[in-house]
Amino acid sequence: MSLRLMTVHAHPDDESSKGAASSARYVSEGHEVMVVTCTGGERGSILNPAMDRPDVVADLPAIRRAEMARAAEILGVQHRWLGFVDSGLPEGDPLPPLPEGCFALEDLEVATAPLVALIREFRPHVLVTYDENGGYPHPDHIKTHEISMAAWDAAGDPDRFPGTGEPWQPLKLYYSHGFSKARLLAFQDAMEARGLESPYKEWLDNWSDRPDPGLRVTTRVPCADWFHLRDEALIAHATQIDPTSRWFLVPRDIQREVWPTEDYELVKSSVDASTPEDDLFAGIPDEVAVRRAG
Cβ-in-10-Å burial (0-12, 13-18, 19+) of 215 comes to exposed
| Residue 11 known to bind ligand | yes
Angle at which helices 139-154 and 108-122 cross, to 10°: 60
For the chain, give the number of residues: 294
Q: What one-letter code names the amino acid at 128? A: V
DSSP 111-142: HHHHHHHHHHHH--SEEEE--TT-SS--HHHH
Check: CB of residue 269 under 8 Å from CB of residue 171: yes
Name the residue among 162, 170, 176 with its Cα closest to residue 113: 162
| Residue 138 known to bind ligand | no
| Residue 141 known to bind ligand | yes
Residue numbers in the known binding site are: 11, 14, 141
Residue numbers in the known binding site for Zn(2+) are: 11, 14, 141
